[in-house]
Amino acid sequence: MSSNVTKNDAPPPAVDTGTDDPAVLELARTAFSLARTGDAGQLATLLDAGLSLGLRNERGDSLLMLASYHGHVDATRLLLERGADPERTNDGGQSPLAGAAFKGNVAIATLLLDRGARVDGAGPDGRTALMFAAMFDKLEVLELLLQRGANPEQRDADGRTARDYARAMGAPRAALRLEPPVSQTP
């Protein structure tokens, strides 16, 4: 038998529940799985039974982060209606809105903005959702964020703007869209 651990033999991911109780850990794993797959009905059942919205996985992802990142509108809406914080970042400093921008998901980005996500909210590194949309040439999300008041001149902790990210990542549509208007002099 090989000493290498296969993916199927790996232990389940760690969960930050504040306890080592196997039943609680299994419930948390189930909740994260439901958020990833978008099962709003089962998530509602767990929330009704007292599941905490503050639950986070080993990467600091909340249930809202997982549901929104994976594009599940109904699960995202449910979690927001139940009081999930749209500004809560994961251990990497990314917000659910930044995740939606990275994925290019306009419906999720709209829902998060409608439910209180700050359009120019940023993690410790200063990167905004607009910067993520620009990096990955997600023009529809970029337009939504600009329409909602995102500041294209906002700088991250290293002094870069969304336009800088678009150029560096080879995102031509975003780079062009973020060019400052050419002033016309008589």
Contacts with 171 (C-beta within 8 Å, 6 or more apart), sequence order: 134, 135, 136, 137, 165
Could you give all domains of the chain from N- to C-terminal order, each with its CATH number? 13-85 (1.25.40.20), 97-176 (1.25.40.20)
pTM: 0.85
Phi-psi region of 132 (alpha: psi -120 to 50; beta: other; left: phi over 0): alpha
pLDDT in tens, 112-143: 999 999 999 998 999 999 999 999 999 999 99
Q: Find the largest Cα–Cα distance for the chain.
A: 80
State the alpha helices, DSSP H only, in the chain. 22-37, 40-48, 63-69, 73-81, 96-103, 106-114, 129-135, 139-147, 162-169, 172-177
pLDDT in tens, 139-183: 999 999 999 999 999 999 999 999 999 999 999 999 999 998 876
Mean pLDDT of 22-42: 92
